[in-house]
Amino acid sequence: MVSSSQLPSILFIITALIGLSVAQVCDDGAAPSCDRPAVLNPIYGGGRPIIPVHSNFAYTITYSTLGYNDADREIPLRIRIPSTGPQSPRPIVMLVHGGSDGDWNGRNSLANWAQNFLSRGYVTINLSIPPRSREQWTGETGICEELGHDVVVDCTQFRFLMYDRPHDIHAVLDQLGDIKRDILSKEPRFSPNVSVILYGHSAGSEGVQSAAGVSRDFNFDGIPDVNLPAHPSVAGVIAASPKGPFSPACRQNDIQPGCHNDDDCTDLGVDSCFFPLDDEAEGGSGSCIAPDDPDLECPYGEPWTSPVCNPSEIFGDLCRRNGNLGFTTSSWTELEVPTLYLTGGHDTAGGLHPSERRWAAEHPSVHGSYLLWFSEGAVDLDHNFYALGNEAWDPYYEIRLVSAALAFADMLIGRRITDRRSGRDYLNGGGPIARDSRGDVEFGCY
């Protein structure tokens, strides 16, 4: 018989054994390899949820940041709290919308994702990432000047809130205690614990990753402009429609003429002029390129004269535009939490090549990652699918998308040990590809 004095120690050991990190569960021998379905049902958590009854609060936080000339930046929030079930502390899923220019009304975006997480008992907090005025990203008092950038060359990228998103997210996380105290008088069930999953779509996926340690160097001077450590509240990140790093080959031809038409780029300060992709057909040859040689390759293995390298065509501005995004192949080395990436072969908004969106998943940090990828055969799954926009999506795919996200959240911050075990087993058992009779679903653990 176990005495009452022994129970805390035993419970601690059980929790430690169940609460494995993604890096541990992805190791060979520690669990299934994620690409062979040991799970027989792709539906996780009971299928498409009935929308739960919940309390709904509008809220706004303020904080001081660069480029506001001593004024505070305001972040509107939408907080939803399940009104059923136990009053025990509830973990949080924080949702960050896309749209590069920002949106004052963004807290009302991603409502379908919020409803799915509410169905699993999570508190959800939707952020608005508000736009900056032109004066706030240019001029003598703007963020560009305060960070020491060339106002003429570098400033426009700050219009797209790449600096702001991760700082906005950190500010909200820093003020969770105040939010809780303000809401408690209205909704006693709001007692979230400190564990948070960050979900972001498109531009929002950039923000949530940078809030978890991914750096950005907007003018490529070797000094990151965004270099935040993962907020201590963050247990994991869901990056829907993410972006990858810029191609050094293109950027060098923009600002460092002299790529040598050979494989040796070391004197330019990089190991390769291409993404370090494994697949040579996608640009992994390592060869340098020169704009005046039509026989040489540009990113993703395409000839320099192809539409992929024509700035007037789709994907064509890949080089210069991604250079402005500030991601490099080393940006993800400090990503400090497990990550689930959601994307596919038709996720092409903004001219991004689909291969670019899966890059970070296939080159994970030490904490590991999962990738759910819907192939080109799933023709209707455009960029908006990964935000669960209001279109009528094919339930064959929607169920798998939602199930992967719910299982990921449960694995890391589920309220009960059984939730964490169920989430882990679903993902490591290849749940999203169970019964994939169409052959359009890929799921990997890296």
- Residue 247 in this model has a pLDDT that exceeds 60: no
- Residue 60 in this model has a pLDDT that exceeds 80: yes
What is the per-residue pLDDT across 412-446, written as a single tens digit (0 to 9) for each? 999 889 999 999 999 999 999 999 999 999 999 88
Confidence of residue 359 (pLDDT cuts 50, 70, 90): confident
What confidence score (pLDDT) does residue 271 get? 42
When mean pLDDT is compared across 27-31, 195-199, 226-230, 267-271, the lowest value belongs to 27-31
What confidence score (pLDDT) does residue 377 get? 87
pTM higher than 0.85:
no
User: What is the pLDDT averaged over residues 262-271?
Assistant: 42
Beta carbons within 8 Å of 88's beta carbon, 6+ residues apart: 191, 415
Q: Can you tell me the distance from the alpha carbon of 42 to that of 432, in angstroms, rounded to the nearest whole number?
A: 5
Q: Using alpha carbons, select from 304, 306, 287, 280 the residue that is nearest to residue 248.
A: 287
Q: Please list the residue range(s) of the chain that carry CATH number 3.40.50.1820.
A: 54-245+327-445
What confidence score (pLDDT) does residue 264 get? 43
Please name the CATH architecture into which domain 54-245+327-445 falls.
Answer: 3-Layer(aba) Sandwich (3.40)
When mean pLDDT is compared across 75-79, 111-115, 293-297, the lowest value belongs to 293-297
Q: What are the backbone angles phi and psi of residue 98, rounded to the nearest 5°?
A: -90, -165
Cα–chain-centroid distance for residue 100? Answer: 14
The alpha-carbon radius of gyration of the chain (Å, integer) is: 22
**CB–CB of 44/401 below 8 Å?**
no
Which pair of tokens denotes residue 316? 């064509």
Q: Can you tell me the distance from the alpha carbon of 174 to that of 187, in angstroms, rounded to the nearest whole number?
A: 21
User: What is the pLDDT averaged over residues 311-326?
Assistant: 44
Distances (CA, A) of 173 to 62, 87, 102, 234, 338: 12, 21, 19, 9, 18
What confidence score (pLDDT) does residue 435 get? 92
- The mean pLDDT value of the chain amounts to 74
User: What is the pLDDT averaged over residues 132-149?
Assistant: 75
- Residue 269 in this model has a pLDDT that exceeds 50: no
What confidence score (pLDDT) does residue 438 get? 94
When mean pLDDT is compared across 16-25, 105-114, 327-336, 397-406, the lowest value belongs to 16-25
Q: Can you tell me the distance from the alpha carbon of 255 to that of 235, in angstroms, rounded to the nearest whole number?
A: 39
Instruction: Label residues 198-229 b or e (16+ Cβ within 10 Å = b).
Output: bbbbbbbbbbbbbbbbbbbbbbbeeebbbebe
Quote the percentage of the chain above a pLDDT of 70.
65
Residue scoring higher pLDDT (308 or 58): 58
What confidence score (pLDDT) does residue 273 get? 37
What confidence score (pLDDT) does residue 209 get? 95
When mean pLDDT is compared across 87-96, 216-225, 321-330, 399-408, the lowest value belongs to 321-330
